[in-house]
């Protein structure tokens, strides 16, 4: 771990966090309460490291699917008066896809967390009826990656 920090592959904060996690795991091991199931699964990725190019694929195949709409990657172009234009990659789940998913697959949560009241919902739909309603302007140029 220290060598990864020395070569710039870890920040001091990541090094501290990993050491704290390792210490906690060793304490659980000594107390007889450490479940090695997840650690064994992770150590077997990519045929136990023999095929590192398959680690990501193996990990995705062994973890449960999140059940949410897929995240889209966007390239954001941001202008600054001194530094000029720069770009960044950001992930987003489109709000209409997220709301639709929650409505269809988690209906109780939809009405608990996303709809304040049925009166508010009716008022919203009355206001946007016929295409009139809220206009949102975003002053960032987005390009799907």
Dist. CA 31–CA 67, nearest whole Å: 36
pLDDT of residue 16: 92
Dist. CA 136–CA 95, nearest whole Å: 13
Q: Are 74 and 89 in contact (CB under 8 A)?
A: yes
Dist. CA 117–CA 104, nearest whole Å: 18
pLDDT of residue 131: 61
**Hey, what are 120's tokens?**
């508010």
State the distance between the two ends of the chain, measured CA to CA, in whole angstroms.
34
pLDDT of residue 120: 83
pLDDT of residue 109: 87
Portion of the chain with pLDDT greater than 90, in percent: 15
Q: Are 77 and 141 in contact (CB under 8 A)?
A: yes
Q: Rounded to 5 degrees, what are φ and ψ at 85?
A: -90, 135
Residue ranges for the chain with pLDDT beneath 50: 133, 136-145
**Which tens digits make up the pLDDT trace of 44-74?**
999 999 999 999 999 989 988 777 888 888 8
pLDDT of residue 142: 44
DSSP string, 49-110: TTSGGGHHHHHHHHSPP--SPPPEEEEEEEEETTTEEEEEEEEE--HHHHHHHHHHH-HHHI
């Amino acid at each position: 771990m220290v060598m990864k920090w020395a070569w710039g592959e870890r920040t001091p904060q990541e090094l501290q966090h990993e050491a704290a996690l390792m210490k906690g795991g060793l304490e659980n091991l000594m107390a007889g309460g450490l479940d090695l199931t997840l650690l064994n699964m992770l150590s077997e990725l990519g045929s136990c490291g023999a095929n590192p190019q398959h680690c990501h694929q193996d990990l995705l195949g062994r973890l449960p699917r999140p059940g949410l709409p897929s995240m889209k990657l966007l390239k954001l172009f941001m202008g600054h008066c001194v530094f000029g234009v720069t770009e960044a990659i950001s992930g987003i789940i489109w709000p209409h896809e997220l709301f639709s998913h929650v409505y269809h697959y988690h209906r109780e949560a939809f009405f608990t967390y996303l709809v304040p009241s049925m009166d508010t919902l009716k008022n919203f739909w009355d206001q946007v009826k016929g295409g009139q309603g809220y206009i949102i302007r975003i002053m960032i140029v987005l390009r799907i990656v």
